[in-house]
């Protein structure tokens, strides 16, 4: 059974391009403590190999890969020539994901709070304009009964205007289409993997807070076979989403 590995961090060396793939170096620090009697582990260097097609989907560039925080999931390899693999361990990447930074997370939370405040303010304004909610004196009861048809029209007008008061974003940036979740076909290679539970839970929390995925899934245009975004596929299945946002990958 292949050994799976997960790395997080930024590239520590420049991006190197080859015929059908790219490579870059990463480094992870060892555990701060070791069992009694054993030496503490130190930094371990890795060389990551990613197919060009998968790398281009991330939107990373030679400059940004040195600053963006990324998640790598793959398998160790011993079959890469030593001149192409300066790291102590070579990693064949099966999935590469750009992780959101702290500033993006704070901006999304601030946007959600602002929209919630606008919704509350609109509701209070509607309550002030509702004549039915105003107290009526005993002497005016008969007069109110005579204008009852007009009072009935007010809730109907407010009901039509309600959808305009709340315009929350429903799909992530870059979405090209929305398809039925049941139509997506997952390759067996994805089914054999298990995405990091902590990262998956963060995406689940994001969906519960905002109501939509943080990124669209990547599928083939005709066959609807999943090409990238298996973690978000699992999240959509967990929260029971009927429709999911997608971008299309066209096979050459």
Cα–Cα distance for residue pair 233/246, rounded to 1 Å: 11
Per-residue pLDDT of the chain (252 residues; tens, 9 = 90+): 568 888 888 888 889 999 999 999 998 877 767 787 787 777 888 999 999 999 999 988 888 888 888 999 999 988 888 788 888 889 999 999 988 876 665 666 677 777 778 888 887 777 676 555 455 445 545 554 555 555 455 555 555 554 544 444 578 888 999 999 999 999 988 988 888 989 999 999 998 998 889 899 999 988 999 999 999 999 999 999 999 999 998 655
| Confidence at residue 216, expressed as pLDDT on a 0 to 100 scale | 93
Cα–Cα distance for residue pair 134/154, rounded to 1 Å: 13
Question: What residue spans in the chain does CATH classification 3.90.1530.10 cover?
Answer: 177-249
Question: What residue spans in the chain does CATH classification 2.40.50.140 cover?
Answer: 5-30+40-100
Please report the DSSP string for the chain in residue order: -PPPEEEEE--SS--EE-SSEEEEEEEE---S---TTSPPP--EEEEEEEEHHHHHHHT--TTGGGTS-EEEEEEEES-S-TTT--SSEEEEEEEEEEPPPHHHHHHHHHHHHHHHHHHHHHHHHHHHH-GGGS---GGGHHHHHHTHHHHHHHHHHHHHHHHHH-----S-TT--EEEEGGGPBPPHHHHT----HHHHHHHHHHHHHHSS-SS-EEEETTT-BEEE-HHHHHHHHHTT-SEEEEEEE---
Radius of gyration of the chain (CA): 27
Per-residue CA distances from 141 to 117, 128, 133, 144, 229 (Å): 36, 20, 14, 5, 63
| Confidence at residue 79, expressed as pLDDT on a 0 to 100 scale | 80
pTM: 0.41
| Confidence at residue 168, expressed as pLDDT on a 0 to 100 scale | 41
5-30+40-100, what's its fold? OB fold (Dihydrolipoamide Acetyltransferase, E2P) (2.40.50)
| Confidence at residue 136, expressed as pLDDT on a 0 to 100 scale | 46
| Confidence at residue 166, expressed as pLDDT on a 0 to 100 scale | 42
- Write the CATH number of the domain with boundaries 177-249: 3.90.1530.10
């Amino acid at each position: 059974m292949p050994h799976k590995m997960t790395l997080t961090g930024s590239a520590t060396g420049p991006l190197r391009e080859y015929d059908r793939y790219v490579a870059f170096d990463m480094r992870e620090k060892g555990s701060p403590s070791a069992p009694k009697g054993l030496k503490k582990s130190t930094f371990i260097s890795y060389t990551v190999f990613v197919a060009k097609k998968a790398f281009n989907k991330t939107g990373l560039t030679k400059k940004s890969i040195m600053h963006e925080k990324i998640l790598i999931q793959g398998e160790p390899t011993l079959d890469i020539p030593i001149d192409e693999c300066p790291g102590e361990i070579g990693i064949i990447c099966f999935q590469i994901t750009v992780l959101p930074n702290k500033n993006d997370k704070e901006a999304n939370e601030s946007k959600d709070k602002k929209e919630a405040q606008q919704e509350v303010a609109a509701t209070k304004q509607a309550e002030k304009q509702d004549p039915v909610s105003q107290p009526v004196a005993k002497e005016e009861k008969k007069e109110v009964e005579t204008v009852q048809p007009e009072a009935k029209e007010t809730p109907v007008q407010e009901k039509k205007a309600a959808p305009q008061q709340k315009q929350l974003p429903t799909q992530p940036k870059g979405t090209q289409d929305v398809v039925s979740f049941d139509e997506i076909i997952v390759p067996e290679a994805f089914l054999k993997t298990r995405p990091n539970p902590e990262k998956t839970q963060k995406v689940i929390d994001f969906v519960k807070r905002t109501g939509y995925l943080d990124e669209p899934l990547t599928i083939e245009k005709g066959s609807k076979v999943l090409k990238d975004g298996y973690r978000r596929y699992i999240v959509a299945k967990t929260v029971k989403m009927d429709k999911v946002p997608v971008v299309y990958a066209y096979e050459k």
